[in-house]
Amino acid sequence: DGDVFKYYADGEWKKSSSGKSVAIVNPTTRKTQYKVQACTQEEVNKVMEIAKTAQKQWAKTPLWKRAELLHKAAALLKEHKAPIAECLVKEIAKPAKDSVTEVVRSGDLVSYCAEEGVRILGEGKFLVSDSFPGNERTKYCLTSKIPLGVVLAIPPFNYPVNLAVSKIAPAIIAGNSLVLKPPTQGLISCITGKGSEIGDFLTMHPGVNCISFTGGDTGVAISKKAGMVPLQMELGGKDACIVLEDADLDLVAANIIKGGFSYSGQRCTAVKVVLAMESIADSLVEKVNAKVAKLTVGPPEENCDITPVVTESSANFIEGLVLDAKKKGATFCQEYKRDGNLIWPLFLDNVRPDMRIAWEEPFGPVLPVIRINTVEEGIHHCNASNFGLQGCVFTRDINKAILISDAMESGTIQINSAPARGPDHFPFQGLKDSGIGSQGVTNSINLMTKVKTTVINLP
Ligand code: G3H
């Protein structure tokens, strides 16, 4: 069937023997935009086998050559940014300009990874034995980094290109082979299919030597089922924004808009709860509301700020949180409005801890404000969350900011800026249910390798 995109294995684009396909639904039109192959478990087995064989050969390819190939791939990505970005617009309703930015950022990530890989993997260590008690200088130990084997990468829908290459490039430069399982909302495919058919089968496959996953609750399930392999997981977040009395409120409002509403709040690092000191809350809410009023709402093709959320079930979930907050007395700063998957931006004031939205992650353009009377109250709310991805604090007092950062149980705290993963070489990690391991180019390369030592024993 010419309409169904093929999957990629053994250097070829192939049709699945299942004869079935998975529909990729355009969130704006809510109609099937693309179809991908529904691969079978036998095809997964075949892919794993090929990956295992190919990796042995690839690991012998000189490091400089691996880097050269990655640089070429980066250039190709950037050269074809327009058609790739077009897919993002249609598949996940990412605004057109942001879609192009994602592809360019991804090309840069691949190049950076090639350079960093050459540096990290190009050097090892030399140890001598007499530095440890009881030993003479009779042993020399040489260390180097070797690949793990087959890396399984499962990126999420919201950055189909960037969070795919952030796993692919470190794996490849380090000499691993890679099996990519994009989410069913994603198209850049290697092995595509229904999670129910091949999801568990892939993650529990004995041929997998490392899993790098970005997504939601599925990650928790994967980590329970996965075998004895290194895991890199970036899961959900409920990134808090603590605002102190002395903060620059114009700066805060701008960051709340960018942090809470860009890509319609569908970022794991989006600001998901504002914890504002009561004394400045009225003024902050007023400033944010003025900016919310200026957000454009509509299709991604027109570069609107707020575009349809990725699926109807996601829109229903967001609506559930909004209605719960309404029932329990939150102040609606704007009228709640929805048309299909499109949800108008909504700022909810006077949210209290008994409301679901105080704790749950909407992954949509809806942002709660909880008013606090002390900084400790804010820190307590942040730390009571089961998530701990990022957080931010706004104050002009740097000493206070550092103390608050230390007290917040999150992987990264941004001082005077909204949470963000980039630049892509910065370490990126979540505490608690927000993840396992650390990402960022250097950490990913290290995670996807193992130290190997050779000891020379002297007579
Ligand atoms: O959605 C999860 C991403 O890792 C967030 O990346 O901070 O660049 O939007 P970002």
For this structure, is 234 an active site residue? yes
Please, what sign has the CA dihedral across residues 246, 248, 254, 255?
Answer: negative
Pairwise CA distance, residues 250 & 156, whole Å: 33
- How buried is 441 (Cβ within 10 angstroms: 0-12 exposed, 13-18 middle, 19+ buried)? buried
- Centre of ligand 1 from the C-alpha of residue 270, in Å: 8
Task: Give tens-digit pLDDT for 190-243.
Answer: 788 888 888 899 999 999 999 999 999 889 999 999 989 999 999 999 999 999
- Centre of ligand 1 from the C-alpha of residue 151, in Å: 21
- Centre of ligand 1 from the C-alpha of residue 420, in Å: 6
Q: Write out 66-78 in H/E/C secondary structure.
A: HHHHHHHHHHHHH
- How buried is 416 (Cβ within 10 angstroms: 0-12 exposed, 13-18 middle, 19+ buried)? middle
Mutate to test the pocket of ligand 1, among 158, 166, 424, 443 (most ligand atoms within 8 A of CB): 158
Pairwise CA distance, residues 59 & 51, whole Å: 12
Provide the pairing of β-strand 438-439 with 428-429: antiparallel
- Residue 375, classed as helix, strand or coil, is helix
pLDDT, position 396:
97
The number of the ligand 1 atom at minimal distance from the alpha carbon of 234 is 4
Provide the pairing of β-strand 390-394 with 412-415: parallel
Determine contact, residues 418/256, Cβ cutoff 8 Å.
yes
Q: Which of 224, 273, 277 is nearest to 383 (CA)?
A: 273
pLDDT, position 186:
63
Q: Which residues pair with 172 in a beta bridge?
A: none
Determine contact, residues 293/285, Cβ cutoff 8 Å.
no
Please, what sign has the CA dihedral across residues 269, 274, 276, 282?
Answer: positive
Mutate to test the pocket of ligand 1, among 101, 159, 314, 387 (most ligand atoms within 8 A of CB): 159
Pairwise CA distance, residues 23 & 38, whole Å: 9
Q: Which residues of the chain have pLDDT under 70?
A: 1-2, 184-189
- Centre of ligand 1 from the C-alpha of residue 214, in Å: 10
How far, CA to CA in Å, does 338 sit from each of 166, 356, 411? 34, 20, 34
Q: Which of 91, 234, 360, 361 is catalytic?
A: 234
Q: Which 8-state DSSP code applies to residue 400?
A: H
The number of the ligand 1 atom at minimal distance from the alpha carbon of 263 is 9
Would you tell me the crossing angle of helices 278-292 and 249-261 to the nearest 10 degrees? Answer: 60
- Centre of ligand 1 from the C-alpha of residue 120, in Å: 25
DSSP symbols for 287-330: HHHHHHTT--BS-GGGT-SB---S-HHHHHHHHHHHHHHHHTT-
Q: Which 8-state DSSP code applies to residue 426?
A: S
What's the token pair of residue 266?
Answer: 């569908």
Pairwise CA distance, residues 366 & 348, whole Å: 7
Task: Give tens-digit pLDDT for 298-320.
Answer: 999 999 999 999 999 999 999 99
Pairwise CA distance, residues 327 & 313, whole Å: 21
Q: Which of 279, 274, 273 is nearest to 245 (CA)?
A: 279
The number of the ligand 1 atom at minimal distance from the alpha carbon of 163 is 4
pLDDT, position 422:
87
Atom 6 in ligand 1: which residue has the minimum CA distance? 421
Pairwise CA distance, residues 392 & 394, whole Å: 7
Burial 98-119 (b: 16+ CB within 10 A, else e): bbbebbbbbbbbbbbbbebbbe
Peptide bond into 423 cis (omega under 30): yes
Q: How many CB atoms lie within 10 A of CB 16?
A: 21
Q: What is the CA radius of gyration of the chain?
A: 24
Q: Which residues contact 345 (CB under 8 A, 6 or more apart)?
A: 261, 292, 295, 297, 305, 306, 334, 365, 366
- Centre of ligand 1 from the C-alpha of residue 268, in Å: 6
Q: Which residues contact 67 (CB under 8 A, 6 or more apart)?
A: 114, 115, 117, 118, 173
Q: Which 8-state DSSP code applies to residue 199?
A: I
The number of the ligand 1 atom at minimal distance from the alpha carbon of 422 is 8
Atom 8 in ligand 1: which residue has the minimum CA distance? 421
Phi–psi pair at 202, nearest 5 degrees: -70, -50
pTM of the model: 0.89
Mutate to test the pocket of ligand 1, among 212, 269, 309, 412 (most ligand atoms within 8 A of CB): 269
pLDDT, position 196:
86
Mutate to test the pocket of ligand 1, among 268, 389, 425, 443 (most ligand atoms within 8 A of CB): 268
Ligand 1 binding site (Cβ under 6 Å of any ligand atom): 158-159, 234, 267-269, 420-422
- Centre of ligand 1 from the C-alpha of residue 52, in Å: 31
Phi–psi pair at 193, nearest 5 degrees: 160, 180
